[in-house]
Each structure stands twice: as structure tokens, then as C-alpha cells.
Amino acid sequence: MKKIFLVLILVFLQLEFVSVSSGQPDKKTLARKIMEQSGMNEQMRQIPLLLSAELSQAKDKIPPELLRGLEREMVKIFDPEKILKEISRQVETRCDIKGMQEILMWLESDLGKKITALEKDSTTPEGMRGIKESAALFEKAPASKTRQNLLQRFIEASNAVKLIVDMKISMAIAMLTAINSALPVERRTDIDMIKEQIEGLRPKIEEEARRAALQESLYIYRTLKDEEFQRYVEFSESKSGRRYHEVAFEAFKDTMQRASLDFGKALGDLYKKIKIQRGISGRILVHLKGGKTLIWNNYTEKDNRYCTWILDGEFCINKNDVSSIELE
């Protein structure tokens, strides 16, 4: 009797194991695989390098103390692992298992792997440089009508332009709102006015984003045959493809918006802590000969000019235009 009972238990355990192992994979595992196979992990890990390159271009306009502080904060705030974790979480919660399996099937196909490799290469410094340098070449030798139509379909299917525009605007609003709150009360700008001014730039940003998306796509997928690129476009137009692009972009936008808000706060705090090593810091009244008075937080003398550091960089005026300077 005991032996029969033991056999029944073993059979039950075997059946249980088979039912569990043959069941659908969990969404967390699928999301992790999608992040790896799509190249998202590698692409997001390029963010600190790309942002650092952008910041270095403004080094002549930013006080050295502020620049060093911003570099430290940037590494901490725009942590790619945090961004990847949020994107993976949203892919897991907002995509169904069937759709995730279809996405993974595409990514694991030979063509899917080939396209992922092209997209990953485009986010390296060399790839970014290639995109920039290719603009003039494509103007001289435009793509075929067939390729241009496929590119337009791809851009529309991925909804990239709208999402990029929304991301840029939300990041700008978040950052400027945070910086504005760090300023003295008398120097703050109405938040609604900031939002209105930035929203007013939407048509221009959208035009630039559409042109950039077209130029980037021309370069990234330039080695694909029209038949290959058409298959990618058709995947992007499918329900699963559209959902994947939507979720990934939205998650990226949300995380970058929050990071921009934190970065703006850090920028405001750092600016308030700056101590100018040369010259005078504090509340300074600069009286101009024309009768106008400027209020500065610091200033230095450079040859025949008085200069101050502001959020946009260094601002200088000719000494001949100043009648007097007093420290409050």
C-alpha cells in the first residue's frame, strides 16, 4: 500500500512538473529577453557617454565649478540601469504574452538580428558621427521612391516623431521648472508662461524631429535591401510591433522626464552653491550710465569688461557703460 501511494505521489509530481514546465513563460522573463535581443540594453548604456559629449560642447559657457558638478550629477541621475529597469517594467506590464512572444520571434529571426545589429551600431559615437556626416550625401543622391515610401511608413508606424517631440518638450519643461524654483523669488518666471513658450516651439521641434528621423533611418538601414526593409516595416505596422514601439518610447520618455526634473533641481542647487574664486559674490547692483541697474550675484573683471556667470553662461558688459558698482 505504501509503495502504491509513493508511486502515485511520484506520478503526481511528474505531471505537475510537466504542466509547469510546458506552460507559458512568465512575462518578466519575456521582457528581459526582449530587452536583450532588441539591443535596448546596449543602446541605453550609451546615454551617459552621449550626454557627456553634449555637455562638453558647452564647457566654454559654463563656470568650471558648475561643469564639474553637473558631470557628477549627470552620471548619477541619468543612470542607464534605472532607465532600463523602468522600460523593462512597462514592457512587462503593458504588453500581453502573445504579443511579447511575437516580438521575440521577430527579434530572434535572422533578419531581426541583422536589423538589431544595425540599430546598435548607430548609437555608438562612430554611428552618431556617420549619421551627421551622411546628411549631405543623401541630399546629393536621394533614396529611391520605393525606399522613401517605406521610410515614411516606418516613421508613422513607430510613431517616433510624436514621441520624440513629446519627450523633448516634457524634458525641457521639467528641467526649466526645476531651475526656476531654485532661483530667488523675485527672479522666478511664471510656470505657465514657461510651458506656453516651450509649447509654442512644438511645430519647429516636430519639423526638426521628422527631418532627423528620416535622415537617421536612411543611414541606419542603408545596407538593407528594399525587400528586407519592407518586412521590417510590416512588422512595425503589426499590432505587436506598434505596441512594442509605443510602450518602449513611452517608458523612455517617462524616465527621461523624471531624470530631467532631478537634473534641473541639481543644476539649480549647484548654481546657488557656486563660489566665484576671483572677484566678488553676493547681491551686486551694477548701475549703467543710461540709468538702468542690473542685479548680479557675482562678477569678475576681464580687461575692459565686467563679467558675471548666469545660467546661460558668461555675460559681460563694457566698463565704459558702467557708472558704478555697489555690493548690497
Sequence-distant (≥ 6) Cβ neighbours of residue 131 within 8 angstroms: 122, 215, 216, 219, 220
Question: 157 and 294: one domain?
Answer: no
The answer on pLDDT for 26 being more than 60 is yes
Q: Give the end of a domain, one of 233, 250, 273.
A: 273
Quick check: is 6 in a domain?
no
Question: 199 and 318: one domain?
Answer: no
The answer on pLDDT for 285 being more than 80 is yes
Q: Give the end of a domain, one of 256, 273, 290.
A: 273
Quick check: is 8 in a domain?
no
Question: 174 and 81: one domain?
Answer: yes
| Whole-number Å distance between alpha carbons of 258 and 245 | 20
Quick check: is 94 in a domain?
yes
Question: 105 and 222: one domain?
Answer: yes
Tell me the mean pLDDT in the region 290-297.
84
What is the DSSP secondary structure assignment for residue 142, as one 8-state letter? P
pLDDT digits (tens, 9 = 90+) for 100-155: 999 999 999 999 999 999 998 888 878 888 888 887 878 788 889 999 999 999 99
Quick check: is 311 in a domain?
yes
Count of domains for the chain: 2
The answer on pLDDT for 56 being more than 50 is yes
The answer on pLDDT for 2 being more than 50 is no
- CA of 198: how far to CAs of 104, 144, 177, in Å? 38, 36, 11
Position 272 scores a pLDDT of 64
Domain extent for 39 = 27-273
Q: At 136, list the grid cell.
A: 549631405
Question: 170 and 244: one domain?
Answer: yes
Position 47 scores a pLDDT of 81
Question: 128 and 263: one domain?
Answer: yes
Q: What CATH number is given to the structural domain containing 314?
A: 2.30.30.100
Quick check: is 22 in a domain?
no
Q: Sign (positive/negative) of CA torsion 288, 290, 293, 296?
A: negative
Tell me the mean pLDDT in the region 232-244.
92
Q: Give the end of a domain, one of 228, 251, 273.
A: 273
Quick check: is 10 in a domain?
no
Quick check: is 253 in a domain?
yes
Question: 211 and 309: one domain?
Answer: no
Question: 211 and 263: one domain?
Answer: yes
Query: Which DSSP string do the residues of 250-311 spell out, in sequence order?
Result: HHHHHHHHHHHHHHHHHHHHHHHH---SSSEEEEEEEEETTS-EEEEEEEEEETTEEEEEET
Question: 68 and 203: one domain?
Answer: yes
Question: 303 and 192: one domain?
Answer: no
Tell me the mean pLDDT in the region 174-183.
77
| Whole-number Å distance between alpha carbons of 289 and 320 | 8
Question: 180 and 320: one domain?
Answer: no
Position 220 scores a pLDDT of 93
For residues 295 and 287, is the Cβ–Cβ distance under 8 A? no
Question: 261 and 287: one domain?
Answer: no
113 vs 44: which has the higher pLDDT: 113
Quick check: is 247 in a domain?
yes
pLDDT digits (tens, 9 = 90+) for 216-233: 999 999 999 999 999 999
pLDDT digits (tens, 9 = 90+) for 189-212: 888 888 888 899 899 999 999 998
